[in-house]
Amino acid sequence: MIARLYRFHFKSERRERLFLASLAFLLTFAGVRAMTFTIHIGIGPFQNVTAGGLHIHHLVWGILLLLVVGYLWLIQVGTGQSQHAGWFSRITAIAYGVGAALALDEFALWLNLKDVYWERAGRQSVDAVFIFASLLSVGVWGGPFLHGVVKEILALSRRPKT
């Protein structure tokens, strides 16, 4: 049922890539915020990544991922324009969303050139802007698919039980 709806609403590979990148951005942003919060309060299995005593911020991994995806797209891999269309196109779109979320989650660090992640400067409008932007993006690019899923679920719930 959902696979059929997905194929119907994402006949265009470009539209599918935009939806997957937006969804990956939103989920990664939420996941990273939750993970960094658990690190900050000292619970759970996660720890800061360090190298020789230097804290490696997650924006570094985001930038590296964006560079890799950008290079692949420059050589037309994962864009739907090469022999690697389909699954590889989906993977690069998801990787782009993940990389963008990792990098933009620490936008305040870029701006202030110091770690203000848990200070007011790091949490004011940045969170609201990016959460809203990612939700809007998912709605714009995936709205018809998500609407179809809700309609299917409602239709299934209304069927008489046998």
Give the pLDDT score at 125: 47
Give the pLDDT score at 128: 57
> What's the DSSP call for residue 81?
S
> What's the DSSP call for residue 50?
E
pLDDT tens, 107-158?
A: 888 877 888 888 887 775 467 567 868 877 877 778 788 888 889 999 988 8
pTM of the model: 0.80
- Is residue 19 within 8 Å of 10, Cβ to Cβ? yes
Domain ranges of the chain: 16-143
50-51 and 54-55 as β-strands: parallel, antiparallel, unpaired?
A: antiparallel
pLDDT tens, 35-50?
A: 999 999 999 999 999 9
pLDDT category at 70 given cuts 50, 70, 90 is very high
